[in-house]
Amino acid sequence: MQGVSNKAFFAEFIGTLVLVFMGCGAAVFLGCDAAGGHLAVAFSFGLSIVAMAYVIGNVSGCHVNPAVSLGMLLAGRIDGKTFSAYLGAQFSGAIVGAALLKKLADNYAPGDQTGGLGANGFGTVGMTGAIVVEVILTFIFVFTILGVTADESKGAVAGLVIGLTLTFVHIVGIPLTGTSVNPARSFGPAIFAEGTQALEQYWVFLVAPLAGAALAALLYKAVAKPKAA
């Protein structure tokens, strides 16, 4: 796509693939019920972002998340063409990552301790609760990203801060919705999950994270943007 380098597109594809494969893979093979499994899954998602941030951050910005890309678009840091291209790369990467995980799970974890490749769901909070949870957690995540990436002097630690933020939102969100905060991450596993529930509930994990990201961008511009000299 004009305006977006092939390297940036491929970086977003690979980054999202890694996030889905490693994060959801931890959920599949470890489960989330026990405290140890819960924390391991949270750190698997977070450490995936840390690793990818330091590998592809200078290529594409390491969004690997449509909600992050939307936040960047609304904050004026990327244009519409880049946003569209990144969405294509992120959803493609998520689908391939989930497909690879599905193949591995079929061979080595036929029981799949999550019941659906780490797919998200309403859990015990219901539809309204899931929307509220995902809006809040995505707001925190994207608001942090907008802040820490606004100052070039923080570049050396930005990946670590972002990864740790993703970790702590997962620690809170896993028992409630499985934690999405990322429409692409939710879409890949939903396609391959057994049954139809994950796809039927997917709209929440598309709309709520995007709403949380939009809110983060609007509030960041209003509150955290430095005043003009």
Digit-coded pLDDT (tens) for 183-228? 999 999 999 998 899 999 999 999 999 999 999 999 999 987 565 5
Average pLDDT over residues 122-129: 92
In the 3-class helix/strand/coil scheme, how is 144-172 assigned residue by residue? HHHHHCCCHHHHHHHHHHHHHHHHHHHHH
Amino acid at 227: K
> If one looks up domain 6-223 in CATH, what number appears?
1.20.1080.10
Considering only CA atoms, which of 187, 190, 189, 171 is closest in space to residue 179? 171
For the stretch 135-169, pLDDT in tens is: 999 999 999 999 999 988 788 899 999 999 999 99
Q: Give residue limits of the domains in the chain.
A: 6-223
- What global pTM score does this model have? 0.93
CA atoms within 13 A on the CB side of 42: 21
